[in-house]
Structure 1
Amino acid sequence: MRLRSTLAALAAFVTLPAAGAQATELEVTHWWTSGGEAAAVAEFAKAFDATGNKWVDGAIAGSGGTARPIMISRITGGDPMGATQFNHGRQAEELVEAGLMQDLTELAEKEGWRDIVHPVSLLDSCTVDGRIYCVPVNIHSWQWIWLSHKAFEDAGVPVPTNWDEFVAAAPALKEAGKIPLAMGNQPWQSSGAFNVMSIALAGLDAWKAVNIEKDAEAAAGPEYAKVFKAAADAREFRKDSNVQDWNQATNLVITGQAGGQIMGDWAQGEFQVAGQVAGEDYSCLPGLGVTEVISTGGDAFYFPKLDDPEKTQAQMELASLMLSKEVQVAFNLKKGSLPVRGDVDLAAANDCMKKGLEILAGGNILPDTNQTLSPDTQGQIEDLMTEFWSSDAISAEDAQQRYAEIIANAD
């Protein structure tokens, strides 16, 4: 009943334009172009258009690493869009400090964002010098491995329940002609997989020491040595994963060509579009089934300053709408992410999403590396991980030494 009421309210919300609203076009840039992502962003567009305004979609094909330089160049070059996606954290910090982003503090205080955004650290990531410059729209956690039931059934082995079982099953998968571990050839994918393995295998204390305290000794220590050894083994599992984009790697899992993929919960949108059912067609293991934790990464929208009062008003309307209960439900159910509001009804969530909600409710959360490391430091780590995962020429020991040096100089 509650779900039916929520959907009815959403239908009313997105079909009735606001009385007397002035139709204003607002270009919104983002990098959501896969099937699941496109379905999710369409919920934002539909709701915004229903206010009488017009969402002009500015999707940029490729990953965030491809899109962000284009977005930043436009803003700094005097051709700003109406709204733009960044990840939670420090990616827009310099734009804010340069005075190029709208201050949303008045709107946030009027609507009580600090009381409804959970965890409140997401709003803190939008805050510079006490002022709020973005609206967080979801919680995306990297901390998952996705497993194909078909692949393991074809290989004649049980679906793993943790990382050790996955490693043990890899030879059977290879013998059955499967790719044990699907991974695309983009730097952020290999870096993200390593980070997931770090939390799961080195433990929370070691991860915090390295990524929050910037402790180079911990990065060079025995706990991280275990991670680099495991990653060196795992790169053998992904050798035949000859795809570029993350969603292509996810498709290898969906179609049973690969056993698993370490990827954030945005992968759920792809399984959903493919008509697969969590717990039946695929399984999901938070923290690789070893250390169940949710990292509070995800997406936020910033609104560049525009010399147009009508567009500025439309920006505020969009910012408010993105955090509304109805849109939070519609968007996140399609995206596979968790809402930033804890007061919404997600009875329609699938088994994997419910696992994430339970972990979030239990408070076992960590910041995302976008919130703890600068873009420059992350770029150095991505370069290292690209080299390490793609070639046996760099040993686990050499990679760890170089990693520790990056952490020693991290900002």
Structure 2
Amino acid sequence: MVINRVVSFLSLMGAMFTISSAFATEIEVLHWWTSGGEARSAELLQQGIESRGHIWKDFSVAGGGGQSAMMVLKARAVSGNPPTSAQIKGFDIQEWTKLGFLTSLDDIAIEGNWDSLLPKTISDTMKYEGRYVAAPVNIHRVNWLWVNPKVMEKVGVSIPRTWDEFFIAADAIKAAGYIPLAHGRQPWQDATVFESIALAMLGADDYYKAFVALDLDVLSGEKMVQVFSAFKKVRGYIDGDALGRDWNVATQMVMNGEAAMQIMGDWVKGELTVAGKVSGEDYVCVPAPGTDGMFSYNVDSFVFFKSHDPSRGQGQKELAKTIMSKSFQEAFNYSKGSLPARTDVSMARFDDCAFQSKTAFTMAEGSKNLLPSLSADMSTTSYIRDAMIDVISEFFTDEAADPNKAPERLAKAVKAAL
């Protein structure tokens, strides 16, 4: 009798597996989450889609800024073989939609009531001509300063809140034999530091005019000279081996006490969490110098490519639903270091850095202080962004670069890319 029951149970499971396999869809997902904390977070998305009976095909392309991934994606799309879904954000969402590659998510969004669940700034970014074409995973704050408090205590300096305080502290840290600022000399990382300086020295209004409205007068103006001057000064506080270093390697330098600080978005916290570090003890997070009250945002999102295969379309819907599910948004962002895109996700188990970020976002939302990140592809098109970052990174590389001439070069680069 028992044997018969076991056989019947196994037969039933086999039948269920056969049915599930018959309807299973292979979902190929392109992303650039390859560091320790990012990879762990990507696994949560994989688990979510596999729990719905589909097959995850990972298509990860290393490179923190995503530029390598976008080059690979363009080649695949042009050849007529795009993945099921891809991590795309900012203005690139609109560009891909204009080219006719992306499928609409409006039916899922209406069914899931996305308009009421997402902040308007985020939902607007996910739409093309009023219709959803992307699903947001999170909200990152870019303008963070990550600090090793033990190094600061050993040196006897306070955490800097302004750029004047930063330079004073950095001098003391350097004199004590530590690296003041952990950094990776990659163009997008250079732009991340530049962006935080620009936020502080231009202020919210002129930052918006320069990097969103593309006001050539502000881009070439006197305040931008101050930005480039401070940016050049920062160069003296990074180590000589920074060229080509990945951002997560720089984070490890802060973790192990080799460096005192890092300016980087809150994806840093994902690395710190994986390493078992505790906020307030092993590291401290504060707004980048001079940017308290401002929130420079980056939103990771996924788009879905058109297909004539009905099963693929069903898999895309399941992936979009997974991304926007309450349970996934909580688990993913707890792991990634970011904020949930959904406003109704409980923050109860999140740490102090997340609460700081949530408070800052809520206060900045709907005001001039909520600003799209230049370095993270949110403020303008990829063409203009790349033109600006070329100027910024070349300036940072050239020890003889003149801060008085750089703003004019920046404005000319933007004008040429318009």
- Structure 1 residue 295: Cα displacement: 2.2
Partner of 1:326: 327
Q: What is the rounded CA distance, in whole Å, between the counterparts of 1:177 and 1:391 in structure 2?
A: 25
Q: Retained in 2: the 8 A contact 1:215–1:408?
A: no
Q: Retained in 1: the 8 A contact 2:160–2:289?
A: no
Q: Retained in 2: the 8 A contact 1:80–1:306?
A: no
Partner of 1:388: 395
Bigger drift between 367-376 and 297-306 goes to 367-376
Q: What is the rounded CA distance, in whole Å, between the counterparts of 2:205 and 2:95 in structure 1?
A: 30
- Structure 1 residue 123: Cα displacement: 2.0
Q: Retained in 2: the 8 A contact 1:241–1:249?
A: no
Q: Retained in 1: the 8 A contact 2:204–2:294?
A: no
Q: What is the rounded CA distance, in whole Å, between the counterparts of 1:403 and 1:138 in structure 2?
A: 31
Spell out the pairing of 1:160-199 with structure 2 (5 A cutoff).
160-199=160-199
Q: Retained in 2: the 8 A contact 1:144–1:284?
A: yes
- Structure 1 residue 151: Cα displacement: 2.4
Bigger drift between 42-51 and 128-137 goes to 128-137
- Structure 1 residue 398: Cα displacement: 1.8
Q: Retained in 1: the 8 A contact 2:387–2:414?
A: no
Structure 1 runs (4+) greater than 4 angstroms displaced = none
Q: What is the rounded CA distance, in whole Å, between the counterparts of 1:167 and 1:272 in structure 2?
A: 29
Which structure would you say has the larger Rg? 2
SS at match of 2:30: strand
Q: Retained in 1: the 8 A contact 2:49–2:319?
A: yes
SS at match of 1:217: helix
Instruction: Say yes or no: does 1:400 pair with 2:401.
Output: no
Instruction: Say yes or no: does 1:366 pair with 2:371.
Output: yes
- Structure 1 residue 76: Cα displacement: 2.0
- Structure 1 residue 220: Cα displacement: 2.1
1:216/1:239 CA distance change after superposition, 3 Å: farther
Q: Aligned letter for 1:91?
A: D
Partner of 2:9: none
Tell me the TM-score normalized by structure 1. Answer: 0.91
Partner of 1:3: none
CA-based RMSD: 1.9
Unaligned residue ranges in structure 2 (runs of 5+): 1-16
Instruction: Say yes or no: does 1:377 pair with 2:384.
Output: yes
Q: Aligned letter for 1:81?
A: P
Partner of 2:146: 146
Tell me the TM-score normalized by structure 2. Answer: 0.89
Q: What is the rounded CA distance, in whole Å, between the counterparts of 2:55 and 2:290 in structure 1?
A: 44
Q: What is the rounded CA distance, in whole Å, between the counterparts of 1:93 and 1:290 in structure 2?
A: 29
Q: Retained in 1: the 8 A contact 2:91–2:382?
A: yes
Q: What is the rounded CA distance, in whole Å, between the counterparts of 2:105 and 2:391 in structure 1?
A: 37
Instruction: Say yes or no: does 1:134 pair with 2:134.
Output: yes
Q: Retained in 2: the 8 A contact 1:180–1:238?
A: yes
Partner of 1:66: 68
Q: Retained in 2: the 8 A contact 1:122–1:296?
A: no
- Structure 1 residue 338: Cα displacement: 0.8
Q: What is the rounded CA distance, in whole Å, between the counterparts of 2:398 and 2:257 in structure 1?
A: 26
- Structure 1 residue 177: Cα displacement: 1.8
Spell out the pairing of 1:252-271 with structure 2 (5 A cutoff).
252-271=253-272
Spell out the pairing of 1:238-253 with structure 2 (5 A cutoff).
238-242=238-242, 244-253=245-254
Spell out the pairing of 1:203-222 with structure 2 (5 A cutoff).
203-222=203-222
Q: What is the rounded CA distance, in whole Å, between the counterparts of 1:69 and 1:166 in structure 2?
A: 37
Partner of 2:349: 348
Spell out the pairing of 1:113-128 with structure 2 (5 A cutoff).
113-118=114-119, 120-128=120-128
1:196/1:237 CA distance change after superposition, 3 Å: same
Unaligned residue ranges in structure 1 (runs of 5+): 1-16
Instruction: Say yes or no: does 1:75 pair with 2:77.
Output: yes
- Structure 1 residue 221: Cα displacement: 2.1
Spell out the pairing of 1:20-39 with structure 2 (5 A cutoff).
22-39=23-40
- Structure 1 residue 230: Cα displacement: 0.9
Q: Aligned letter for 1:291?
A: D
Q: Aligned letter for 2:83?
A: M
Q: Aligned letter for 2:260?
A: G
SS at match of 1:310: helix
Q: Retained in 1: the 8 A contact 2:147–2:260?
A: yes
Q: What is the rounded CA distance, in whole Å, between the counterparts of 1:90 and 1:124 in structure 2?
A: 11
Q: Retained in 2: the 8 A contact 1:30–1:85?
A: yes
Q: What is the rounded CA distance, in whole Å, between the counterparts of 2:305 and 2:209 in structure 1?
A: 35
Q: Retained in 1: the 8 A contact 2:105–2:131?
A: yes
Q: Aligned letter for 2:218?
A: A
1:287/1:154 CA distance change after superposition, 3 Å: closer
Q: What is the rounded CA distance, in whole Å, between the counterparts of 1:338 and 1:332 in structure 2?
A: 6
1:162-183 C-alpha deviation (Å, 9 max, x unpaired): 4332211112211222111111
Partner of 2:202: 202
Structure 1 residue corresponding to 2:86, chosen from 84, 89, 97: 84
Identity of aligned residues (%): 36
- Structure 1 residue 389: Cα displacement: 1.3
- Structure 1 residue 289: Cα displacement: 4.9
Q: Retained in 1: the 8 A contact 2:29–2:83?
A: yes
1:284-337 C-alpha deviation (Å, 9 max, x unpaired): 122425432222312110111123111110100110110111100000000001
Total equivalences in the alignment: 392
Q: What is the rounded CA distance, in whole Å, between the counterparts of 1:224 and 1:194 in structure 2?
A: 11
1:222-268 C-alpha deviation (Å, 9 max, x unpaired): 32222111111111112435252111111111111112111111111
Q: Retained in 2: the 8 A contact 1:199–1:287?
A: no
Spell out the pairing of 1:13-52 with structure 2 (5 A cutoff).
22-52=23-53
SS at match of 2:227: helix
Q: Retained in 2: the 8 A contact 1:184–1:245?
A: yes
Q: What is the rounded CA distance, in whole Å, between the counterparts of 1:331 and 1:234 in structure 2?
A: 34
Partner of 2:275: 274
Q: What is the rounded CA distance, in whole Å, between the counterparts of 2:405 and 2:165 in structure 1?
A: 27
Q: What is the rounded CA distance, in whole Å, between the counterparts of 1:177 and 1:297 in structure 2?
A: 34
Partner of 1:13: none
Q: What is the rounded CA distance, in whole Å, between the counterparts of 2:30 and 2:291 in structure 1?
A: 37
Q: What is the rounded CA distance, in whole Å, between the counterparts of 1:202 and 1:80 in structure 2?
A: 40
